[in-house]
Every structure is written in structure tokens, then in C-alpha cells.
């Protein structure tokens, strides 16, 4: 039989072992989870403040999309194809038929609109003419988005350039 003192030492040892077990397997992993969640919370708060900073810009972009939707709906009621409308715009801007070519690049679905892309090649024009054309395309009555512009200067005349424009004609979904 164990003496009282031995029983006390044994009880203290068992209590210490249980305490070490509880700390090792229950408390320490939970403390690590708390640390990880605290870091995640701090990152989430930072992300939220970043998103809140973008709210005014998002509202401005949303207003632009609404304006484009109205323009797309209005142009969808027309009988002409997008290719013939772009051709008429170029000819109305003073570009002779021999100075440009337009090739369709296919249709893709977007979040708000369908978009038919076109490659417009314009040869031997001045910078100012092309700037006016870009303004007409972006701000005009047609739902057109200029995706890219590639300019090449001509060797025979420094005032003339060749341009390749990738434009998207917006269509309703």
C-alpha cells in the first residue's frame, strides 16, 4: 500500500500529466487557430478598406455601363450590320474606300454585352485624322470600344502612318 505522501505525489503527477495533455492537445492547437484567424481578420479588414476605397470609381464605371446599355439597345434596332456601319463611319470621316479595310474577328460574350470584334487597317493617313477617328469611335453614336491601336510610320512620308485598330462593336445579349 502507498503511503499518504506517495499518494499525494502520485496524484500531483497524474494531475500534471493530465494538465500537460490538455495543454498539448487542446489549448495549444486552439491558440494557433486563434492566431491564424486573427491574421485572417486583419487581412480581411484591410481588403474591406481597399474595396471601400474603390466604391466611387465602381459607381462611375457602372454609370458608364448603363449609358452604354442605352446606346447598345438604340443601335440594335437599326437594320444595318455592324460592318456596314463602321464602313459608313470611316467613309463619312473622309477616308476613301481604298485607304482602309475591315475584317471581322468573331463574336464573344461579355458580362453585359456581346462584342463583335473588327480589325480595321488604315493606310497612309495623318495623325490628326486618326485622332479624330478615334474620338468618333469612342464618343460617337455607335456602341464601339477601341481595344487596341497599332501605329506604324511610313518610310516614304514621315507625316503619314498606317494604323491597325482592334475595335469591338457592342451588341445586346
Q: At what angle do helices 82-92 and 127-139 cross, to 10 degrees?
A: 140
Q: Give the pLDDT mean for 137-148.
A: 85
Cross-strand bridge partners of residue 11: none
Q: Residue 53 corresponds to which cell in the numbers above? A: 476605397
Secondary structure letter of residue 1 according to DSSP: -
Asked if residue 1 has pLDDT above 70, the reply is no
Residue 12 has pLDDT above 70, yes or no: yes
Q: Does domain 80-171 have CATH number 3.40.1160.10?
A: no
pLDDT tens digits, one per residue of 36-68: 999 999 999 999 999 999 999 999 988 888 887
pTM given for the model: 0.61
Based on the number of CB atoms within 10 Å of its own CB, is 134 exposed (0-12), middle (13-18) or buried (19 or more)?
middle
71 versus 98: the higher-pLDDT residue is 98
Instruction: Output the nine-digit C-alpha cell for 56.
Output: 466611387
Rounded to a whole number of angstroms, the distance between the first and last alpha carbons of the chain is 89
Percent helix, strand and coil across the chain, each to the nearest 5: 60, 25, 15
Q: How many residues does the chain have?
A: 173
Amino acid at each position: 500500500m502507498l503511503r499518504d505522501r506517495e499518494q499525494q505525489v502520485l496524484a500531483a503527477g497524474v494531475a500534471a500529466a493530465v494538465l500537460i495533455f490538455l495543454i498539448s492537445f487542446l489549448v495549444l492547437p486552439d491558440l494557433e487557430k486563434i492566431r491564424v484567424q486573427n491574421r485572417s481578420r486583419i487581412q480581411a479588414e484591410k481588403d474591406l478598406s481597399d474595396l471601400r476605397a474603390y466604391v466611387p470609381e465602381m459607381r462611375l464605371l457602372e454609370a458608364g455601363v448603363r449609358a452604354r446599355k442605352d446606346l447598345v439597345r438604340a443601335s440594335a434596332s437599326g437594320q444595318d450590320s455592324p460592318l456596314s456601319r463602321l464602313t459608313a463611319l470611316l467613309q463619312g470621316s473622309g477616308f476613301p474606300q481604298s485607304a482602309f479595310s475591315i475584317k471581322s474577328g468573331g463574336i464573344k460574350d461579355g458580362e453585359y454585352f456581346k462584342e463583335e470584334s473588327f480589325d480595321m487597317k488604315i493606310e497612309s493617313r495623318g495623325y490628326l485624322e486618326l485622332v479624330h477617328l478615334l474620338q468618333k469611335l469612342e464618343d460617337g453614336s455607335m456602341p464601339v470600344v477601341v481595344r487596341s491601336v497599332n501605329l506604324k510610320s511610313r518610310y516614304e512620308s514621315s507625316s503619314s502612318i498606317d494604323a491597325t485598330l482592334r475595335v469591338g462593336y457592342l451588341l445586346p445579349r
